[in-house]
């Protein structure tokens, strides 16, 4: 494979699989935050 | 908090994302993207393709998801709820266009499944004379009809176990299976002598292609068709999402996941094509074939050149094609059933009706390749109009207002900026007009040269306009009956729709 094809492959994989992975990680972070929020909401409310 | 399974919604965000990926990743990722990318500049093609993910697919997925989440209805009810009952026909066009695709997509799923079975039981027939076998399958064979019926009926049975819950359960198997099959094919393809040439062909950069309008239009077409944006499917899944579900990031994940699957599919198919072709010219001929020609004629012919392994490789390829098609077919059937459920039809009756209609109206495509090609042309282009209608819905409501209320509302993990307003009000309408004009130009000068005015020519402008016109006229005439009545249940998840 030519050098330019290898470089393009790495760039394309970063922009597709890499970006997909980052987006999934952000979604997971959002879920964790949501879970913590729900725990706080469900806890006993001090009066 | 995750919604409970008993309310018909997705059980978690991951269930929703898997279902959305199953919806977006279809046959086009496997049989179209690798050919189109490789023939339009390789690495250079990928630049506009990625750009149009943000300038068409992601914003439209967001609008759809937001619409479904806000209204808890399918496309018809969602358009009526957001824009008023007089716009119900527009949502009905989106739903009908996807339903017409569903009719022949069931045939595609059936073909893929039939070829998978033949790969295992009777690979000799498949590989001996692939062209004549394909001609026999597509000219009134029992095989095409039976497998088409199995695809339609089997999908309805899977969906009968619940809306989102059933889709989620099936996609939890199909999507990882598809990725595993493609990954295995990548490894095997690259270890074949000459397989690396396929990667070189895919990732070579022909910058000159970027100065050709065709490259940009092919890239936009691929992005528009592949991600499922504008089909009304994400809208339906949005109706089954949590009320505080994120819209922007989930839409982005769906589009990026679809792109990743396309790249994986290209890395799986092109090395095999180049390794098994007798020459570069032959490999170019394979990538120059049409979708069905590449998948059902060329691939079996190439697999036959792998002594002792051809049947296994063929089974992998057609299993992947079946898994990709089935997960998208399920989404289409669920969308159609949701429209009927919104109108008050019980879910099981709605599914039976959708399955019967899919079988009956798909029969002409199962019996004649020419009918299939015509329907693919007419409703494939119809999706561009559907996409424009989806953008119109957000623009008419107020793009900024829609964004703040239904995309950046409660639960948003990613606050979408004003670029969204520009895309749905300016970019998508312009892209639609340019793209439709280009495809019609192709019809006049190439596909139906001299017969573009002939409604009986499979790829003519006239057949497109006539079928769209008939559908729109019928929907406008029936508009008052299309929208769900006020107070009607919003769907099988039993939650009332919100009038935004």
Angle, helices B369-397 vs B58-71, to 10°: value is 70
% of residues, chain B, pLDDT over 90: 64
Residue with tokens 């890499």: A18
Q: Which of A1, A13, A24 sits opposite B196 (nearest CB)?
A: A1
| Res. B5: pLDDT tops 50 | no
**Low-confidence winner among A36-40, B100-104, B268-272, B356-360 (lowest mean pLDDT):** A36-40
Q: What is the mean pLDDT of chain B?
A: 90
> pLDDT tens digit string along B442-488?
999 998 988 989 999 999 999 999 999 999 999 999 998 887 665 55
- Dihedral sign computed on CA atoms, order B484, B168, B56, B420: positive
- In chain B, residues with a C-beta closer than 8 Å to the C-beta of A36 are none
ipTM confidence score: 0.88
CA distance B90 to B371: 26
A5–B256: do the CB atoms touch at under 8 Å?
Answer: no
**Tokens read off for B256:** 């990026």
pLDDT at B150 over 90: yes
Q: Do B413 and A6 touch (CB under 8 A)?
A: no
B249 with A27: Cβ contact below 8 A? yes
Rounded to whole angstroms, the Cα distance separating B341 from B491 reads: 6
Which structure tokens are listed for B449? 């040269």
Q: Pick from B19, B11, B78: which is nearest to B254 by CA?
A: B19
Q: B42 forms bridges with which residues in the sheet? A: B205
Q: Which phi and psi angles does B478 have, rounded to 5°?
A: -100, 10
Measured between CA atoms, the residue of chain A closest to residue B203 is A5
Does the distance separating the beta carbons of A29 and B413 come in below 8 Å? yes
Q: Which residues of A touch B (CB under 8 A)?
A: 1-2, 4-6, 8-9, 11-13, 15-17, 19-20, 23-24, 26-27, 29-31, 33-34, 38
Concatenated DSSP letters of A3-47: HHHHHHHHHHHIIIIIHHHHHHHHHHHHHHHHHHHHHHHHSPPP-
Q: CB–CB of B46 and A12 under 8 A?
A: yes
Choose the closest CB to A24 out of B205, B253, B263: B253
The model's pLDDT over B35-66, given as tens digits with 9 standing for 90+, comes to 899 888 888 899 999 999 999 999 999 999 99
- Which among A8, A29, A31 has CB closest to B43? A8
Q: What angle do CA B303, B305, B309 make, to 5 degrees?
A: 60
Q: How far apart are CA B416 and CA B248, in angstroms?
A: 7
Mean pLDDT of B351-379: 96
Distance of CA B214 to the CA centre of its chain: 22
């Amino acid at each position: 494979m030519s050098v330019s094809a290898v470089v393009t492959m790495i760039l394309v994989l970063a922009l597709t699989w890499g970006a997909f992975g980052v987006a999934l990680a952000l979604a997971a972070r959002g879920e964790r935050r949501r879970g913590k929020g729900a725990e706080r909401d469900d806890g006993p409310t001090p009066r | 908090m995750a919604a409970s399974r008993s309310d018909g919604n997705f059980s978690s965000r991951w269930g929703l994302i898997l279902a959305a990926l199953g919806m977006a990743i279809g046959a086009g990722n496997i049989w179209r993207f690798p050919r189109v990318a490789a023939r339009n500049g390789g690495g250079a093609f990928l630049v506009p393709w990625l750009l149009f993910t943000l300038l068409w697919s992601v914003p439209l997925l967001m609008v759809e998801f937001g619409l479904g989440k806000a209204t808890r209805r399918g496309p018809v009810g969602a358009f009526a709820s957001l824009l008023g009952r007089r716009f119900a026909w527009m949502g009905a066009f989106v739903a009908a266009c996807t339903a017409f695709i569903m009719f022949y997509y069931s045939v595609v799923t059936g073909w893929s499944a039939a070829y998978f079975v033949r790969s295992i039981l009777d690979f000799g027939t498949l590989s001996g004379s692939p062209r004549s076998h394909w001609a026999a399958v597509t000219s009134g064979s029992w095989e095409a009809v039976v497998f088409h019926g199995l695809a339609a009926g089997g999908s309805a049975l899977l969906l009968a176990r619940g809306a989102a819950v059933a889709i989620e359960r099936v996609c939890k198997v199909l999507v990882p299976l598809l990725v595993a099959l493609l990954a295995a094919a990548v490894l095997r393809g690259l270890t074949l002598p000459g397989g690396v040439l396929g990667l070189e062909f895919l990732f070579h950069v022909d910058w000159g292609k970027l100065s050709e309008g065709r490259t940009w239009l092919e890239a936009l077409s691929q992005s528009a068709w592949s991600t499922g944006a504008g089909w009304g499917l994400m809208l339906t899944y949005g109706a089954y999402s949590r009320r505080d579900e994120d819209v922007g990031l989930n839409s982005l994940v769906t589009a990026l996941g679809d792109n990743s699957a396309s790249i994986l599919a290209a890395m799986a198919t092109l090395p095999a094509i180049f390794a098994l072709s007798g020459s570069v010219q032959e490999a170019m001929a394979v990538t120059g074939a049409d979708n069905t020609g590449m998948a059902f004629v060329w691939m079996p012919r190439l697999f036959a050149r792998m002594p002792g392994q051809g049947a296994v490789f063929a089974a992998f390829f057609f299993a992947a094609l079946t898994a990709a098609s089935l997960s998208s077919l399920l989404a289409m059937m669920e969308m159609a059933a949701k429209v009927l459920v919104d109108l008050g039809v019980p879910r099981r009756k709605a599914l039976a009706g959708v399955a019967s209609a899919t079988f009956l109206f798909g029969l002409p495509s199962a019996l004649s390749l020419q009918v299939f090609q015509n329907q693919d042309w007419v409703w494939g282009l119809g999706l561009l109009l559907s996409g424009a209608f989806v953008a119109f819905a957000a623009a008419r409501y107020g793009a900024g207002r829609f964004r703040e209320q239904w995309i950046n509302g409660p639960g948003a993990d990613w606050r979408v900026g004003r670029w969204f307003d520009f895309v749905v009000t300016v970019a998508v309408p312009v892209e639609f007009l340019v793209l439709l004009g280009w495809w019609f130009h192709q019809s006049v000068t190439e596909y139906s040269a001299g017969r573009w005015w002939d409604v009986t020519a499979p790829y003519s402008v006239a057949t497109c306009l006539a079928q769209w016109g008939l559908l729109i006229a019928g929907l406008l005439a029936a508009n008052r009956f299309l929208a769900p009545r006020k107070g009607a249940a919003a769907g099988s998840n039993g939650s009332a729709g919100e009038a935004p």
